[in-house]
Amino acid sequence: MKDLTGQLFGGNWTEKKLEILRKYLESYNIALKNQPFERVYIDAFAGTGYRQQRSHLYGNFAIFEEFKKDESEKFLKGSAKLALEVNPPFHKYIFIETDGEKIAELEKLKNEHPEKKIEIIQSDANEFIQSYCGKEDWANNRAVLFLDPFATEVEWLSIEAVAKTKCIDVWILFPLMAVNRLLAKDPQKVFSERLNSIFGTDEWFERFYNTRTLNDIFGKSEEIVFKACNYQGIAQFYNERLKAIFSGVAEKTKVFYNSRQSPLFQLFFAAGNPKGAPIAIRIAEHLLRSI
Ligand SMILES: C[S@@+](CC[C@H](N)C(=O)[O-])C[C@H]1O[C@@H](n2cnc3c(N)ncnc32)[C@H](O)[C@@H]1O
């Protein structure tokens, strides 16, 4: 089902994800409000600014008008809209999206906030980030980047470009279930290129696959390669990759599960600026623990 004013995705965990983001943006702007930097919010997978919530999620309360209104207003906002409402505000907002129809919705959102400096960019997020990070004036700017893809779109090259600025804090929704599927049980069927692009290395193979020698009764031996990793191991590897390039990485993360209790995504936080990292990590870990 598609609706131009919003999009259907996520479950209850979507609210948690957005609440963590919203609270972080608020704390970030409070913490930096007396600093001379221009604060930028970058939403690299921006969507439309709104989400369409299945009505049964607030069904029982829908008979009361006031509940209906509260629930719908609370649940319908997507990351872009929430970021625009954060107080104190950012100096600039950059919304990136590939889909033309969603871009049109973002333009409407921009018109709803004429007082705000908003750039809407129709582009692949990776392309934009890699070029923007190298061009922006990082002596005078600080940014928070939200990477909220549907699946495995985020390239390690983008993460590296972000870390290199030393001025961007980033929230990454890592597609745990999708990556686990790319790591096929049959080593012949592993999606190596995509995994290299996500992890920025091919070391995942050594980490996630083991070799065993099987001897048959005729004395012939055969090397068997088999998958030897779980969700925790995948997340641990990604965390180590982040730690190698960022000033700080939150040890605490949040796993989001689907209705069958299988891990879908894991939310990571990394801080870019060496001076700001300790406080940024403290705030992020508090939010990851308490929401
Ligand atoms: C999970 S949704 C984002 C939801 C949004 N953060 C929110 O809270 O409303 C992912 C979005 O990324 C867009 N998208 C997919 N691939 C992209 C890419 N390579 N670059 C930029 N946007 C992309 C999709 O069209 C979709 O709107």
Single out the residue of 167, 155, 195 nearest to residue 179, CA to CA: 195
**Least trusted range by pLDDT, from 201-205, 228-232, 258-262, 273-277:** 258-262
Whether 7 shows a pLDDT value over 60: the answer reads: no
**Gap from CA of 37 to ligand 1 centroid (Å):** 28
**8 A C-beta contact, residue 237 and residue 246:** no
Backbone angles phi, psi at 11, to 5 degrees: -125, -140
- Ligand 1 centroid to Cα of residue 220, in Å, is 52
Residue 160: which pLDDT band, with cuts at 50, 70 and 90? very high
Considering the domain 12-177+230-290 in this protein, what is its CATH number? 3.40.50.150
Q: Is the pLDDT of residue 69 over 60?
A: no
Average pLDDT of 74-103? 94
pLDDT bucket at 52, cuts 50 / 70 / 90: confident
Distance of CA 233 to the CA centre of its chain: 19
Q: Is the pLDDT of residue 48 over 50?
A: yes
Task: Determine the atom of ligand 1 nearest the C-alpha atom of 44.
Answer: 21
Q: Would you say the C-alpha torsion 121, 127, 130, 134 has a positive or negative sign?
A: negative
pLDDT in tens, 13-34: 999 999 999 999 999 999 999 9
> Would you state the pLDDT for residue 241?
98
Strand partners, 145: 42, 170
Place of tokens 């600026």: 273
Q: What is the pLDDT of residue 219?
A: 87
* Amino acid (1-letter code) at residue 284: A
Pocket test for ligand 1, best of 8, 96, 150, 174 (most atoms within 8 A of CB): 150
Report d(CA 117, CA 108) in Å as an integer. Answer: 14
For the chain, what are the domain ranges?
12-177+230-290
Query: In the predicted model, is pLDDT for residue 68 greater than 70?
Result: no
DSSP 60-120: GGGGSHHHHHHHHHHHHB-HHHHHHH-SSPPSEEEEEES-HHHHHHHHHHHHH-TTS-EEE
pLDDT surpassing 50 at residue 222:
yes
Helix (H, G, I), strand (E, B) or coil at 137: coil
Q: Which helix (H) or strand (E) holds 50?
A: none
Please give the C-alpha separations between residue 197 and each of 176, 182, 191, 231, 281, in angstroms, as whole numbers.
15, 12, 10, 19, 26
Q: Which atom of ligand 1 is nearest to the CA of 48?
A: 9
Contact 239, 249 (CB under 8 A): yes
pLDDT of residue 58: 44
Q: How confident is the model at residue 209 (pLDDT cuts 50, 70, 90)?
A: very high
pLDDT of 196: 98
Label residue 262 by pLDDT band (50, 70, 90).
very high
Mean pLDDT of 170-198: 97
> Cis (ω within 30 of 0) for the bond into 88?
yes
Query: Lowest mean pLDDT: which of 28-42, 54-68, 102-116, 193-207?
Result: 54-68
CA angle at residue 15 from 264 to 234, to 5 degrees? 25
- The partner residues of 213 in beta bridges, in order of sequence, read 223
The pLDDT assigned to 21 comes to 98
230 — phi, psi (to 5°)? -125, 180
Interatomic CA distance for residues 23 and 93, integer angstroms: 17
Query: Per-residue pLDDT for 60 more than 50?
Result: no
Beta strands in the chain (DSSP E): 38-43, 92-97, 118-122, 141-147, 168-174, 209-215, 221-227, 248-249, 254-257, 263-271
Residue 255 in 3-state DSSP? Answer: strand
Distance 212 CA to ligand 1 centre (A): 41
Q: Give the other-Cβ count within 10 Å of 110's Cβ.
A: 19
Confidence of residue 12 (pLDDT cuts 50, 70, 90): confident
Predicted local confidence at residue 59, as pLDDT: 45
Pocket of ligand 1 from Cβ distances under 6 Å: 9, 18, 45, 47, 51, 78-79, 96-99, 102, 124-125, 148-150, 153
Question: Within 10 A of 9 (CB to CB), how many other CB atoms are there?
Answer: 12
Q: Please, which pLDDT band fits residue 2 given cuts at 50, 70 and 90?
A: very low
Q: Is the pLDDT of residue 5 over 70?
A: no
